[in-house]
Amino acid sequence: MPIATVDPATGETLETFEPLSAAEIQQRLAAAESAYAHHRTTGFAERARLLNRAADLLEEDAADIARTMTTEMGKPVKAARAEAAKCVKAMRWYAERAEGLLADEQPAQDDVSDSGASRAVVHYRPLGVVLAVMPWNFPLWQVVRFAAPALMAGNVALLKHASNVPRTALYLQDLFRRAGYPEGCFQTLLIGSGEVEDILRDRRVAAATLTGSEPAGRSVASVAGDEIKKTVLELGGSDPYLVLPSADVERAAATAVTARVQNNGQSCIAAKRFIVHADVYDAFRDRFVAGMRELTVGDPMDEDTDVGPLSSEQGRADLEELVEDALNRGATALCGGERPKELERGWFYSPTVLADVTPEMRIHREETFGPVATLYRVADLDEAVELANDTPFGLSSNVWTRDDADIARCVRDLQAGGVFFNGMTASHPGLPFGGIKRSGYGRELSGHGIREFCNATTVWYGAAE
């Protein structure tokens, strides 16, 4: 895949980039190794100063980088500005809290004495150079939510970004440079996916994190496993959205629209399968479909646009295949199910709700990366939970109910990295984020995220002679 900025609203190639040569890759690896030797010895105050400066610069640049993201991958520009603001928040959150999150731990005195020690302590130490393989759908946020904790822990970063967002990738490198980070602390590698394996196998790379597709995660995990290197994977999702009898149906339906089409429907944690109890099914369906029909699809630079284009022509083709397979096998399109006729240029797709979906359809098992929802009617909570878990993924889940028994059951039985009640799934710096099953492993954000790329070092002191 060429490294290029292609405007998904028009299909026009705006700029192409030459990938790094083998010699240039070696230079970047050497610079990262050298930077780590210094950065690991800095204190939290210095790291926080640098990260806060990066946050200040990003806040100043928000309008410009938002337009860059929109031009490269098509999200509405108002959503791109919100993404930049979220990154600023995460940077400042880690700058303020990293020292406390990585504070030395004192084991229980009984255990210390029983081990024969006079004292013992657990220190958190950085691992080294971390390779980040990142996706295009949140081209700023996905990187910052890794980089902020990694840099605060004393690691350094190599970014292999998606090939369709090179301008955003280069902006990130320049952002950290302007903030005052020493050369090599954060570097963007303009390379194809074929170069990832050799970089990951390089002795100077200690670990890797990947957000992306299941095949990409499998590939990186296989190489890292062969090299015995730590990885964190955040892969696909087919998140369920349960609406139960006691739900506020009007709020649930309005939120469902946003939960499905956020980021043009191209989000791992977007709700995708809407599982509704028979008692409230008709009321929810009517409101949900009406809300999806009312969305404005169009130019993502327009402030009034709700849904922009998909990120690529191939992405739209993949989505169309899933919808056509479902329709051919008996599904019903309650709205959408086609390209918007008024938008001849660009890779647009109409917000779509499919009912009468069955397990024989590909869309029942595969992730829909675009503004397409599947709608299911269930008879009771048992059926709702069974259907929610009937997926190879387990990233997050949403439940609408005011019944305490329903809440307890869903917390216990839903197979996901998160359960969000009476609201839509969202990531926040203070909450751990990640999945189970084929959605990956490990956690980002919060204290869990910053400790993923740390060595928990046990320091044991024997009794003095």
Buried b (16+ CB within 10 A) or exposed e, 444-458: bbbbbbbbbbbeeee
Amino acid 90: pLDDT: 98
Name the strand (E) or helix (H) holding 332.
strand 332-335
Per-residue pLDDT of 236-268, as tens digits, reads 999 999 999 999 999 999 999 999 999 999 999
Hey, which residues are catalytic here?
Answer: 234, 268
Please tell me the predicted confidence (pLDDT) of residue 463: 78
DSSP annotation of 194: G
Residues 6+ apart with CB under 8 A from 360: 329
What per-residue confidence (pLDDT) applies to 157? 98
| Predicted pLDDT of residue 2 | 87
Nearest to 452 by CA among 440, 462, 463: 440
Decide the pairing of beta strands 436-437 and 454-462: unpaired
Residue 330, sorted as left (phi over 0), alpha (psi -120 to 50) or beta, turns out to be left
- pLDDT by residue (tens digit) across 332-381? 999 999 999 999 999 999 999 999 999 999 999 999 999 999 999 999 99
Write out pLDDT tens, residues 87-144.
Answer: 999 999 999 999 999 999 999 999 999 999 999 999 999 999 999 999 999 999 999 9
Using one digit for the tens of pLDDT, what is the confidence trace for 139-173? Answer: 999 999 999 999 999 999 999 999 999 999 999 99
Residues 6+ apart with CB under 8 A from 403: 244, 245, 246
- The mean pLDDT of 427-454, rounded to a whole number, is 98
Q: Tell me how far CA of residue 260 lies from CA of 128, 240, 371, 387, 436, in angstroms.
A: 38, 11, 6, 18, 21
The average confidence (pLDDT) of the chain is 97
Distance CA(133)–CA(211), nearest Å, equals: 7
pLDDT value at 465 more than 50: no
Would you state the pLDDT for residue 464? 66
Q: Which residues of 222-256 are buried (b: 16+ CB within 10 A; e: fewer)?
A: ebbeebebbbbbbbbbbbbbbbbbbbebeebbebb
pLDDT of residue 430: 97
| Share above pLDDT 90 across residues of the chain, in percent, rounded to a whole number | 99
